[in-house]
Structure 1
Amino acid sequence: MSSNKIITDLLPQKFGKTGLIWTAILILLCLNGLYCYIKQIRFGLGVTGLRDYASWGIYISNFVFFVAISLVGSLITAIFRLTGVEWRTPLTRISEIIAVSAILFASLIIIVDMGRPDRFWHLFVYSRLQSPIMWDVIVITTYLTLSVLFLYFPLLADIPILIKNSKPGSAIQKFYKFIGAFWKGTAEQFRISENAVKTISVMIIPIALAIHTVTSWLFATTYRPGWDSTNFGAYFVSGAFLVGAGGVVVAMYVFRRAYQLEAYITDKHFNNMSKVVVMLALLYLYFNVNEYLVPAFKMKKAEEHHLHSLFTGEFSLLFWSAIILGMIVPVIVLLFPKGRKPFPAFIMGLLVVVGAWFKRFLIVTPTMLSPFLPMHDVPESYKHYTPTWEEWSITIGSLAGTLLIITIFTRLFPIIPIHETIEEMEHSKPEKHEAN
């Protein structure tokens, strides 16, 4: 495949009719979420379904989900790069933009959950390093910074190609020249960029593990049934890697179909990523067994209500659906070669991602409704949690915002690295010649 062919195939394309409709829908969902957030600021958290007992709801569930799926950047780009996985190239930028957009909205949804946005400033003015909340702020800020750099440095090599192939004097060409003003494409710059990416790859892995471990400590250091666990760090991290891998599989299929990238995102990539999903799903299942079997075996009085609500009670349908459809079914389907084809793998990836979101909901809500002291002399509404229209609108708006960032990014930049792909193709030519 020639360099010109690769450039033509991978250059960002203008939105067609479908793309414009998709973008318009995302913008409307974001605006609806913004309207509901303004309403929440005006009238307070009383517009939500949050009450004295269920003081955390789908905002926190959404936060944990965003933090989880953001770990895909370190999984695909950092770990695969450091271990020399050769087929990672078409997936790196996909995983990086998912990571950046997800961790950005994780930061925003926490501000939404605070009720008054000025309280975010209080985290810095009145912060205490003894608090796990401040640990979370520190690691999220660090991870966001590293993720942006991880996205930006490999993108520099594609900037001259984008400038050359954009309309002279256009706004988009000026934008490319601005963000890559210092990049001359010299051998020394490539060497520095490569060393920077390797350094960030090493740095981002412990930060990625820390961000979800610290998030789990926000729960585990709170003395409540279902959260009083030393298993939470590994439980959260394994689940994060699973949803991240599932998210990449979904994105691979969407970009492959939308931009006709069958020659670059091949069946081999779906086959390999499906195997990764199986491994991570089995690992997460193992930690789920640990998380629920031990307290179920002991059946302490405080844990009894919580476990019954999950296994046979109010949340049982959601719980077993998340376990079976979000973990067990994908493992069974993806174990077979036909299940690792693009479309079945895409469906299994969707199940993993949707199941993961509801799994985070199940980590938060049932525990809040199972306090150590029984609920007496309180309104019936305090014993249940049902998100209001405003909560759902803000949550859906945040999810739409994440997708909007990814959508706009693919309109401006190639979703598969052009320079790396050309370099990879050129290196593979001598090997093919020798094999012949």
Structure 2
Amino acid sequence: MSEEKIERDLLSNINWSNKFKIWFGFLTALLVVCLWFYVLQLRKGLGVTGMNDIVSWGIYISNFVFFIAAALIGMLISSVLGMIGYTWIKPISRIAEIIAVAFAMVAGIVIITDMGRPDRLHHVLLYGRIQSPIIWDISVVMTYLMLSLLLLYIPLIPDISLCKEKLTGLPKFQKKLYKVLSLGWAGNEAQYKTIKRYFKILLILIIPVALAIHTVTSWLFAMTLRTGWDSPIFGPYFVSGAFVAGCAAVLIAMYFIQKNYKLQAYITDMHFDRMAKLLVLVSLVYVYFNINEILVPAYKFKPSEVKHIGNLLYGHDSLLFWLVQGGGLIVPFMLLMIPKMRKPLPAMLISVVILVAAWFKRYVIVVPTQLEPYLPIQNVPESFHSYMPTLPEIAITVGTLVMVLMIISVLTKLFPVVPVWEMKEELLEEQHQ
């Protein structure tokens, strides 16, 4: 393999093919339909959703927690594994960072969908109280998004300059974009040292911020006295769950990027095998917290806790609970213990199941708990005794998922998804050995 072949292979995805235009057109049409439902919600209020006085947090907040969870994968792959010294993550680190940026960007939009008066969003910043965990959450989300953008952008600078020099027939906006973002890159040794130094600083900074973002999100629940949320383990519980969702998202992205852009020489079966093993590891940690979530309150046998746990284990929400725990966590990680299941296609399919279950797990955390208040639900309409998302609610939630796919799709068409200069560097190291 030569440097010319590396450049040719890894820059091949940067083109606006007809296949991509059809895909993006489909996403755009779907988003327009979803936005129509959001306009309907703006006009008529949150009454068009299934939320009510009892269940005031529905699938919007479940979606927010899920997006924040998936966004943590950039920190796990690039920062933690990178600083430990695992070189096998190099070809997939940018994929993880793109996923982190996409989910973190849309997480803020998800919060707006849950607001009855989004025109007053700025009041949160102007009149928010430092005692409120919501202010902490917003501050950490914004900080994490900025660090994630920098973590994606700084190692991209040499490749952006390469795109500017090597690629021809690009639209004018794309040429101008590369010129601005390359920052006059010349490719000398001093510039590479500068990039590596600042990149290491970011890798260190993003670890506490990433842990804080999901810990603070968990505090939105844990700092209440509500049964099912009043738990001191919610911080690490949410973080471990985030790693499961993030690893599954990366495995899915790896599969489609490898197939669509013909990158089998760079994203190999070895990468799928090791990512699947990582998914098994974080799943085991998450299983521990899931057991702890049920076992400890069940042992104490408080009446309110018993009622809530009974509802999850054998009551109204038991089917969803067991599908999420068994079908979406235990069975998949047991399958991934089998070497053949860690091949690209089976690993991707298992990851899809895990990611879908991860979303419904957030639903199980958010909704059933609200249906078990300390006082009996009375003197309210019968519909308040349960929660069922409406069509506008589902469409708006789908719209946020579509936005994530659009951001990922555009980023993978604008920039190399595998770091070109790092692959060249690795080639030179092999030649010198």
- Which TM-score applies when normalising by structure 2? 0.97
Distance 1:204 1:169 in 2: 34
Identity of matched residues, %: 48
> 2:10 aligned with 1:3, yes or no?
no
| AA at the equivalent of 1:74 | M
Alpha-carbon deviation of 1:116?
1.1
Of 131-140 and 9-18, deviating more is 9-18
**Given residue 125 of structure 1, which amino acid in structure 2 is its aligned partner?**
L
Partner of 2:245: 243
Q: CA deviation at 1:191?
A: 1.2
Deviation readout 1:197-218 (Å, 9 max, x if unpaired): 1000000001000000000000
What is the aligned partner in structure 2 of residue 155 from structure 1? 156
Q: Which amino acid aligns with 1:34?
A: L
Q: What corresponds to 1:25 in structure 2?
A: 26
**Paired residue for 2:388, among 369, 383, 386?**
386
The whole-number CA distance in structure 1 between the counterparts of 2:41 and 2:300 is 42
Question: How big is each residue's C-alpha offset from its partner over 1:242-268, in whole Å with a ceiling of 9 and x where there is no partner?
Answer: 111111111111111111111000011
- Asked if residue 359 in structure 1 is aligned to residue 361 in structure 2, the reply is yes
Other-structure match for 1:113: 114
Structure 1 segment 305-384 matched on structure 2, within 5 A: 305-384=307-386
Alpha-carbon shift at residue 342 of structure 1 (Å): 0.9
The answer on 1:270 being equivalent to 2:272 is yes
CA distance in 1, matches of 2:270, 2:171: 39
Name segments (4+ residues, structure 1) moved above 3 Å: 15-18
Q: 1:296 aligns with which of 277, 295, 298?
A: 298
Aligned-residue CA RMSD in angstroms? Answer: 1.3
C-alpha spacing 1:355/1:93, structure 2 compared with 1 (3 Å): same
Normalised by the length of structure 1, the TM-score is: 0.96
CA distance in 2, matches of 1:41, 1:168: 43
**In structure 1, what residue type is equivalent to 2:246?**
G
Rounded to whole Å, the distance in 2 between the matches of 1:379 and 1:300 is: 29
From 175, 184, 192, the counterpart of 2:194: 192
In the other structure, the counterpart of 2:167 is: 166
User: Do the aligned residues in 2 keep the contact of 1:47 with 1:390 (CA within 8 Å)?
Assistant: yes
State the alpha-carbon separation in 1 of the partners of residues 332 and 249 from structure 2.
13
Q: Distance in 1 between matches of 2:363 and 2:42?
A: 23
- The CA distance in 1 between the partners of 2:39 and 2:25, in whole Å, is 21
Deviation at 1:18, TM superposition (A): 3.7
Ranges in structure 2 where 5+ consecutive residues have no aligned partner:
none
1:256 aligns with 2:258: yes
The 8 Å contact of residues 73 and 96 in structure 2, kept in 1 or not, is answered as yes
Relative to structure 2, which stretch is displaced further, 170-179 or 382-391?
170-179
8 A Cα contact 1:62 1:360, kept in partner: yes
Question: Contact 1:158–1:419 at 8 Å: present in 2 too?
Answer: yes
- Which residue in 2 is equivalent to 1:414? 416
State whether structure 2 residue 205 is matched by structure 1 residue 203. Answer: yes
Gaps of 5+ in 1: 432-436
The one-letter amino acid of 2:117's match is R
Q: Does 1:227 align with 2:232?
A: no
Q: How many residues matched?
A: 431
Q: Which amino acid aligns with 1:77?
A: S
2:55 match: secondary structure:
coil
Q: How many Å separate the matches in 1 of 2:20 and 2:211?
A: 35
CA contact (8 A) 1:29 1:393 kept: no
After superposition, what is the alpha-carbon deviation per residue over 1:171-213, rounded to whole angstroms, capped at 9, x for unaligned?
1222211211332222222111111110000000010000000
Q: Supply the distance in 1 between the matched residues of 2:29 and 2:319 (Cα, whole angstroms).
A: 32
Residue 37 of structure 1 aligns with which residue?
38
Once residues 419 and 252 of structure 1 are traced to their aligned partners in structure 2, the CA distance between those partners, rounded to angstroms, is 19
- Assess if the C-alpha contact under 8 Å between 2:158 and 2:182 holds in 1: no
* Alignment CA distance shift 1:170-1:380 (3 Å): closer
Separation in 1, partners of 2:179, 2:169: 11
C-alpha contact (below 8 Å) 1:166/1:173 kept by paired residues: no
Quote the residue 1:434 is aligned against: none
Q: Deviations over 1:91-122 (max 9, x none)?
A: 11100010011011111110111121123201
Tell me if structure 2 keeps the 8 A contact 1:32–1:394.
no
